[in-house]
Amino acid sequence: MKNPLIMRGSPLLFLLLAGVCVAGYRPVIIVHGIFDGPKQFEKLRNFICKVHPGTEVTVIDLYNNLASMKPMWKQVQGFREAIGPIMRRAPDGIHLLCFSQGGLICRALLSTTPNHNVNTFISLSSPIAGQFGAWRDNFLRLKKLVLIGGPDDGVITPWQSSLFGFFDCNENVVEMRNQEFYKNDTFGLKTLDTRGKVSVCVQSGVKHVTWHSNYTVFMNCIEKWLT
């Protein structure tokens, strides 16, 4: 009986407590993949809101469906313009959760956005090892890099590309730490890994189009990084 009386008698206290709840989680920005849009990410958004109530979750409504085939650098520019205001409203930083082609867009966005405040970049079944460039300084601003993929994806080839692995000239898969760009620390991946800031989560039995709607994937690979 005491708690309800305290809440009714102390509206300011109630507001402060509510504010602490909302402020406890950084905003999450979701970037969809090819032929996707916000509609496909309602389950993932609901997962986050259920487990971390009060979290500001934004699924960027841009380059949806067939428009996702437009030139990548044009998309990067558009997503940067959409995400910029959210970053500026979040002094403690944001989390980027990017699926499939969205992972490549987010990677390019990070490389071309000096002084970004992305705390955690979660790459969800994205062919992240497909290309790389000189984005070392911006990359090393990350507090956490989360790489998620699995052997039953069926689209990402090789599936280890989700984890910065890729084929050699004989089409044998070379895992991340044996890649030349890792050993040479070309864009800071080795440095980030040495700092203990790289997390890898492998989930079997998940098809490419179901990663973002799979609650087990969310709880095992994503949830704990969205604080």
Residue 15 lies in a domain: no
Question: Is residue 72's pLDDT more than 70?
Answer: yes
Residue 118 lies inside a defined structural domain of this protein: yes
Assigned domain for 20 exists: no
pLDDT reading at 87 higher than 70: yes
Lowest mean per-residue pLDDT among 40-54, 131-145, 209-223: 131-145
> What is the span of the domain harbouring residue 167?
28-225
- Give the model's pLDDT for residue 21: 33
pTM of the model: 0.81
Angle (CA) 4-8-14 rounded to 5° is 90
Residue 163 inside a domain? The answer is yes
Report if residue 7 sits inside a domain.
Answer: no
219 domain residue, yes or no:
yes
Question: Total domain count for the chain?
Answer: 1
Residue 2 inside a domain? The answer is no
Looking up residue 81, the CATH number of its domain turns out to be 3.40.50.1820
Lowest-pLDDT choice from 75-79, 103-107, 134-138: 134-138
Neighbours of 187 (CB within 10 A): 21
pLDDT in tens, 116-140: 999 999 999 998 875 444 678 888 9
Is residue 121 a part of any domain in this protein? yes
What amino acid positions are annotated as catalytic residues? 100, 153, 208
Crossing angle of helices 11-23 and 2-9, in 10° steps, is 100
Mean pLDDT of 101-118: 92
| DSSP alpha helix (H) spans, 112-157 | 136-139
